[in-house]
Amino acid sequence: MSDKKVKQNCDSMSTGLLSVDEAKKRILETVAPVSGQEKLSIRAALNRVLADDVLSTINVPPYDNSAMDGYAVSSEDLPDNNERQLQVVGESFAGSPYGGQLCSGQAVRIMTGAMIPAGADTVIMQEQVRREDDNIFIGPGHKKNANVRYIGEDMRIGQTILTRGKLITPAELGILASLGIPEVKVMRKLRVAFFSTGDELRSVGEPLDEGQIYDSNRYTLYGMLQRLHVDIVDMGVIADRRDDVREAFKTAADIADAVITSGGVSVGEADYVKETLEQLGKVTFWRVAMKPGKPMAIGSIDKAAFFGVPGNPVSAMAVFYQFVQPALKKMMGMQTSFTTILKVPCMTALKKAPGRLEYQRGILDYDENGELVVKTTGVQGSHILTSMSQANCFIILPAENDGVIAGDVVEVQPFTDLV
Ligand code: AMP
Ligand code: MG
């Protein structure tokens, strides 16, 4: 054998770690959009995912109209040098058009949004004319077709305006209303069940005994899932008992499209969590080259997708945002969305050892010169949940990075993009 090392899949090597990019790619490959659609009135469809393309059956705007308050004229009447006098023969208001046909030497008083009368092709702003009784005087320098908004300029008959997989936000609601569409077909809501595992966990409202902590992951998970507008089933805390764990996994897989658990995925966890998962479904335990959040479990139990996020509170959130959320969005039928990554100078030094990609918590702000800069939130332990609240972005340090000195440019991912 040569001294070349035998290549193996990272995740099959006991010491190897899967890269973040590879893990992201694989997790997306394990899930597919759910089937099932429903018809909703457009307001009820806010925050839902379009199941069909939306085609325009009308032109928007439906007619040429004025972009200004002023006078509709024919460009033939625009003077080249001297002032020109035109007779005002009528009015066109929004919702009440001028019925006649404009002849040479005539103008129509027109308001924003009102129909351009037949025979006119140009609107002169009212500030640019002198009016005397029923006449206006316009000077040179006006352009043909000025201040006219054209039929179908925004949406044309027969045009595909929205494509399936589009998330319905306020802009889409307005578009649907502009097209006169009262109802749309959307993907059915994804149903997500989740629970925490750990004998040390208590729920809010219960007293804490020695060695116990409050379960916070069910609350961060609840919050992150709510913002995705999925149906949520909170199954509480499941104790580290074989039968309880088995029952919980079975129930969750029965009622939900996706099951998320926190805790119980690190080395040294009670073996039966893994054992149970292996018996009930196809689950792979991954060690991903990232910090926080190295261990995670991915797979399926019956028809449900399964995501096991780490127990440490910051790891649970980071793994959810980076891996689980994109997978849930794919299951919801959502088109892949744009992720903002900014390159900005980091004003504080950051400690990092090469080997794993790190999602450090940062605060993005403007410095005294108005330039965007980032600084650390401070201590970066995966148990420091307050860092997630102080932060407004992840500072993404690539695996090979071996620390940052103040002034270095780093990549950041704003939290505003994570919803
Ligand atoms: P585990 O992944 O179960 O080994 O947990 C790793 C660390 O996270 C331990 O310190 C746990 O006590 C803590 N932890 C696990 N689950 C939760 C939870 N739901 N809420 C808060 N901390 C947790
Ligand atoms: Mg545990």
Q: How confident is the model at residue 267 (pLDDT cuts 50, 70, 90)?
A: low
Q: Among 149, 168, 201, where does a domain finish?
A: 149
CA 95 to chain centroid: 37
271 is a domain residue: yes
Q: Read off the CATH number of the domain in which 326 is found.
A: 3.40.980.10
DSSP classification of residue 288: B
Residue owning the nearest CA to atom 16 of ligand 1: 311
Same domain, 198 and 248: yes
Closest ligand to the CA of 310: 1
Q: Cα–Cα distance between 349 and 156 in angstroms, integer?
A: 54
Residue owning the nearest CA to atom 5 of ligand 1: 311
Same domain, 159 and 56: yes
Q: Which of 311, 303, 217, 321 is nearest to 265 (CA)?
A: 311
Alpha helices in 64-216, H assignment, sequence order: 170-178
Residue owning the nearest CA to atom 3 of ligand 1: 263
Q: Cα–Cα distance between 354 and 8 in angstroms, integer?
A: 21
Q: How many domains does the chain have?
A: 4
Q: How confident is the model at residue 11 (pLDDT cuts 50, 70, 90)?
A: very low
Closest ligand to the CA of 263: 1
State how beta strands 135-138 and 84-92 pair. Answer: antiparallel
Q: Cα–Cα distance between 321 and 317 in angstroms, integer?
A: 6
Same domain, 137 and 175: no
Report the alpha-carbon angle 386-388-392, nearest 5.
125
Same domain, 209 and 167: no
- Residues above pLDDT 90, as percent of the chain: 87
Closest ligand to the CA of 309: 1
Q: Model-level pTM?
A: 0.92
The answer for residues whose C-beta is within 8 angstroms of residue 4's C-beta and 6 or more apart is: none
CA distances, 246 to each of 122, 137, 139, 276, 408 (Å)? 74, 86, 85, 6, 49
Same domain, 162 and 256: no
Atom of ligand 1 nearest to the CA of 269: 4
Task: Look at residue 15 in the predicted model and tell me its pLDDT.
Answer: 55
- Ligand 1 centre from 304 Cα, in Å? 24
Q: How confident is the model at residue 12 (pLDDT cuts 50, 70, 90)?
A: very low
Mean pLDDT of 241-247: 90
Q: Is the pLDDT of residue 418 over 60?
A: yes
264 is a domain residue: yes
Q: Is the pLDDT of residue 297 over 80?
A: yes
Q: Among 298, 331, 364, where does a domain finish?
A: 331
Q: Is the pLDDT of residue 7 over 50?
A: no
Closest ligand to the CA of 311: 1
Residue owning the nearest CA to atom 10 of ligand 1: 312
Same domain, 204 and 157: no
Ligand 1 pocket at CB < 6 A: 196, 198, 200-201, 213, 215-217, 262-266, 269, 310-313
Alpha helices in 165-312, H assignment, sequence order: 170-178, 217-226, 242-255, 271-280
Same domain, 180 and 263: no
Same domain, 199 and 264: yes
- Residues above pLDDT 70, as percent of the chain: 95
Of the listed ranges 62-66, 239-243, 341-345, the least confidently predicted one is 239-243
Alpha helices in 15-169, H assignment, sequence order: 20-29
Atom of ligand 1 nearest to the CA of 196: 19
- Go through the chain and tell me how many residues it has: 419
337 is a domain residue: no
Same domain, 51 and 112: no
Q: Cα–Cα distance between 323 and 227 in angstroms, integer?
A: 16
228 is a domain residue: yes
Q: Burial letters for 55-85: b for 16+ Cβ neighbours within 10 Å, e otherwise?
A: ebeebbbeebbbebbbbbbbeebbeeeeebe
Residue pair 349/304 in contact (Cβ under 8 Å)? The answer is no
Q: Read off the CATH number of the domain in which 175 is found.
A: 3.90.105.10
Q: Among 161, 187, 213, where does a domain finish?
A: 187
Mean pLDDT of 273-282: 83
Out of 212, 260, 312, give the residue to mutate to test ligand 1, the one with the largest number of ligand atoms within 8 Å of its CB. 312
Residue pair 49/167 in contact (Cβ under 8 Å)? The answer is yes
Same domain, 326 and 228: yes
Same domain, 325 and 206: yes
383 is a domain residue: yes
State how beta strands 148-149 and 65-66 pair. Answer: antiparallel
Mean pLDDT of 250-265: 94
- The pair of structure tokens assigned to 403 is 């620390």
Q: 44 lies in which domain range?
A: 38-60+153-187
Q: Which residues pair with 304 in a beta bridge?
A: 301
Same domain, 44 and 84: no
Q: Read off the CATH number of the domain in which 384 is found.
A: 2.40.340.10
Q: Cα–Cα distance between 39 and 54 in angstroms, integer?
A: 13
Q: Please tell me the number of Cα atoms within 13 Å of 149 on its side-chain side.
A: 19
- Ligand 2 centre from 315 Cα, in Å? 13
Q: Read off the CATH number of the domain in which 76 is found.
A: 2.170.190.11
How many beta carbons lie within 10 A of that of residue 280, not counting itself? 18
336 is a domain residue: no
**Chain segment 377-402, per-residue pLDDT in tens:** 999 999 999 999 999 999 999 999 99
Out of 217, 288, 307, give the residue to mutate to test ligand 1, the one with the largest number of ligand atoms within 8 Å of its CB. 217
**Chain segment 64-84, per-residue pLDDT in tens:** 999 999 999 999 999 999 999
Task: Look at residue 269 in the predicted model and tell me its pLDDT.
Answer: 61
Residue pair 125/147 in contact (Cβ under 8 Å)? The answer is yes
Residue pair 380/361 in contact (Cβ under 8 Å)? The answer is yes
